[in-house]
Amino acid sequence: MDNSGMYVGLDIGTTSIKVIVAENVKGQMNVIGVGNERSNGVSRGVIVDIDKAAEAIQRAVRQAEEKASIEIHDVIVGIPANMLKIEPCSGMIAIDDQSREITGRDVRTVANAALIQSLPPEREVVDILADEFVVDGFDGIKDPRGMVGVRLEIHGTLFTGPKTIMHNTRKAVEQAGLNLRGTVINPMAQGMMVMNDGEQDFGTILIDLGGGQATAAVIHDHQLKYIDVDQEGGQFITKDISVVLNTSLDSAEKLKRDYGYADATQASDEDEFPVDVVGQSQPTPISEKYLAEIIEARLDQIFQRLRSNLDEVQALELPGGIVLTGGVAALPGITDLATDEFGTNVRVYVPDQMGLRHPSFTLALALVKYFGGLSEIDLLIKSALTGSSQLADETDEIRSREAAQEAANNAPVQSSQTSKAKQPKEKKKRTEGFRKFFSDFFD
């Protein structure tokens, strides 16, 4: 499969692994296949058993392949924000002794210069984003290619994370027989998709309530500014239900999905349902309200810890409020509970694509949309991380061809001196020639 117009997002979650296949048609991402399998070898968002994770990835990929009727080779993988650090970075290179045009290879080289950081041995660079380029002292440049200069600088943001997370992710993907096309930091991709332009600009908090952990991310000035990961998620709610009601984990998960409420005030005390209790031959009736109280107690703990950390950086004062997503965000009453806890406006994001209308699919969809929306400059900078110079060479070649074509089109038409008597006839011939050229060109 040629993945040039095809994007495959791989969300390696704690409770499930999701694969989304999307086709880029005239800038519009059309989902053509989905895979969703129970996760293995993943704990709190991090791969802890490479073999089991690789097998689970294979199952999810096969399911997506069947639905999309394609073979999947290249995937875009989400990287969890555990222990992620965000810091400014910069780099500078000399283009040449004399001024010349800046190329894609120069952009990649200056990005490499920005990557030279003295990192601890247990950490590595996860991603790098350019805020601006500076050419011979002129700043605020978004794309320096084609400009003339002797010195090129880059100012951007560097994201570093634990080497173990990156290594285990790459290894599991390779062991599943797939090629890692690119990696994206999870909350960065989600934030760009779930928030509108104003929310990204003025500042908004994204809280991803996943199975293994809850991640709070602050997007401000269209950039990821802050990350906080709480090591509890939907699995802990399920365990609480299992322990309190003395039922199996599978039964507890089903109760949470079928009858669960995040806000106990919205649940009924009269409506009851049967629960299979371990050691009893007959099911025990439990009220909706009692189940909701178990769920709310755990969510309160998670929200309180997130609020404490968000308060420290004054994030809750941002006008955008909070956007909730992730599987746990599907619980009825979650918006009201979060509004009471955080004291700001809260909404839940649910993808609107057919077959994906559940907040647990947000990340997988965000991965393909984010990667598909990257510019040539973004991809050139990312290629500095992978060590591939192919994209830089290709973009330089394309720009050279375009420049040559433009020069040819703008070249003056050579004509010999003609007598005034012959000029009308010559002009008519040239006009017919141009008409024929454009007719042929557009045909």
Contact by Cβ (8 Å): 50, 41:
yes
CATH 3.30.1490.110 region(s) of the chain?
85-161
Query: What is the topology classification, in CATH, of domain 227-348?
Result: Nucleotidyltransferase; domain 5 (3.30.420)
Section 313-342 average pLDDT: 97
Q: What is the pLDDT of residue 219?
A: 98
Instruction: Tell me which of 223-227, 228-232, 341-345, 417-421 is least confident.
Output: 417-421
In 3D space, the residue among 310, 293, 345 whose CA is nearest the CA of residue 228 turns out to be 310
Section 210-235 average pLDDT: 97
Reading the block at residue 340, the tokens are: 């009471």
Q: What is the pLDDT of residue 188?
A: 97
Q: Is the pLDDT of residue 441 over 60?
A: no
Q: What is the pLDDT of residue 412?
A: 59
CATH number of 85-161: 3.30.1490.110
**pTM, 2 dp:** 0.87
Q: What Å distances lie between residue 381 and 47, 139, 239, CA to CA?
A: 27, 18, 43
For 203: left if phi > 0, alpha if psi spans -120 to 50, otherwise beta; the answer is left
Cβ contacts of 336 within 8 Å, gap of 6 or more: 262, 263, 265, 266
Judging by beta carbons within 10 Å of its beta carbon (0-12, 13-18, 19+), is residue 428 exposed, middle or buried? exposed
Section 269-293 average pLDDT: 95
Section 135-141 average pLDDT: 96
Strands 28-38 and 16-25, bridge-based pairing: antiparallel
Give 237-257 pLDDT, tens digit per residue: 999 999 999 999 999 999 999
Instruction: Tell me which of 2-6, 116-120, 271-275, 349-353 is least confident.
Output: 2-6
Top mean-pLDDT range of 110-124, 193-207, 406-420: 193-207
Task: Measure the CA–CA gap between 238 and 135, rounded to whole angstroms.
Answer: 56
Reading the block at residue 410, the tokens are: 């703008």
Task: Measure the CA–CA gap between 420 and 210, rounded to whole angstroms.
Answer: 81
Q: What is the pLDDT of residue 98?
A: 81
Average pLDDT, the chain: 89
Q: What is the pLDDT of residue 385?
A: 87
Q: Is the pLDDT of residue 418 over 50?
A: no
What's the residue count for the chain?
Answer: 443
Contact by Cβ (8 Å): 287, 268:
yes
Neighbours of 283 (CB within 10 A): 13
Q: What percent of the chain has pLDDT over 90?
A: 80
Residue 441 or residue 158, greater confidence: 158
Q: Using 50, 70 and 90 to split pLDDT, how confident is the model at 99?
A: confident
Q: Is the pLDDT of residue 347 over 90?
A: yes
CATH 3.30.420.40 region(s) of the chain?
6-82+165-195+352-386, 227-348
Contact by Cβ (8 Å): 95, 149:
yes
Q: What is the pLDDT of residue 433?
A: 45
Q: What is the pLDDT of residue 355?
A: 87
Q: Is the pLDDT of residue 405 over 90?
A: no
Section 21-32 average pLDDT: 90
Q: What is the pLDDT of residue 27?
A: 79
Cβ contacts of 348 within 8 Å, gap of 6 or more: 323, 324, 325, 329, 330, 334, 335, 359
Q: What is the pLDDT of residue 97?
A: 75
Q: Is the pLDDT of residue 75 over 80?
A: yes
CATH number of 6-82+165-195+352-386: 3.30.420.40
Q: What is the pLDDT of residue 223?
A: 95
Task: Measure the CA–CA gap between 411 and 408, rounded to whole angstroms.
Answer: 5
Residue 326 or residue 424, greater confidence: 326
